[in-house]
Structure 1
C-alpha cells in the first residue's frame, strides 16, 4: 500500500448507524432487521463505510477478497478494488459455472450449502472473507472452512455489521473486523 492509498483509508468520524434503517418483524415476527440499503444509497456514508472496512483489513495483506452471497458481494467488491486485489465469490448451489467445491454446514434452524469454483484460489493465497452481517457466525465460519478446503490461507474476516449479542465472533477462528457493531 502506498502513501496515497493510506490517505484514502482515513475516513471522517461519523456515526454510520444513523444511515442504517431498522425494520421490526422482518423477515418474521421478533426479528429486528438492519437494512443496509439506506447506507448504500447515501454516497458519502457508503464511501466512509467502505474506507473503514479497507482500513481494518489492509493490515492482513490479502491476495483475494471472498464475498459471501449475495450481500457480501456488495462490500467485497469495493474492498478488493481499494486493496488492489482480486475478488472471488462464495455462492449457493447451482450459481457458479464450471467445477465447484462445496461444503454443507449446520445452522440453528437447519442446513445449508456453499460453493466455490474449484480454481478460484491458488494454494497458499491469502484471503479475507467478507459478508454484510455477522449474526450467529455459522455462514462466515463455513465460508472460512470452504476456503481452506480449496487451499486458501484465510487471514481474516470482515463484516459491515456485527450483532454482538448473538456471539457470532466466538465461532470465527480468524481475526475479524466489523465496521458497525450493534450490542
Structure 2
C-alpha cells in the first residue's frame, strides 16, 4: 500500500510565528504524526490541529519534527513526535502564538468580531508635493545613484504621510537630506508646513 494512502487525516499546521498551513493530509497516531514534507517546514513547538469529520478537533504540540529525506522512491517526509494537548492547554497554546502584521490599520481579531471602522486622513496636498519632488529629481542633472538615493528619501517621506501620523522631526531631517536642486527647496518648505514646521 502506498504511503500516501495512509494519510487519512486532515490537519492544519500552526507555526509559532502565526503562519498557518491548512488542509494538509497526514496520518495522526497517539504520539506520532506522519506527513509528506511538500516543502513545508515543521519545527519544534509548532501546533498540529487535526480536524475530524465529526466536527471535533485535536491539538498536538510538535516535540521533534523527525524529518526524513527522500529515499528509494519514498518522498521526503516527517515522522513527528507529538504531545496531545488537553482542551485548556490547547486553547492557551493557540492564544500564545505571536502574529506579526504590518501596514495601515493592520490588525487581527482572535475569537472576536470587529465592527469598527478605522480611517486614516492623508492630506492630498502632501501626496501632490511628494509627486512634485519625484518629478523634480527625475528632471534634475543628478547622477543615477544620486537620483536613486533621493527617491529612497522621498519614499520615506511618502510613507510617513501615508501612515496618517507623520513625525515633524523625522520628516524635517529627511527633507534636509534631499539634494539642493531647482525647485526642491520651495517644495520641501511646503511639505514641512503641512506638519507645522519649516524644513
Give the TM interval when normalised to the shorter protein.
under 0.3
Compare relative contact order (CA 8 Å, sep 6+) and give the higher one, 1 or 2.
1
TM norm structure 2: 0.23
Give the alignment's TM-score, normalised by structure 1.
Answer: 0.25
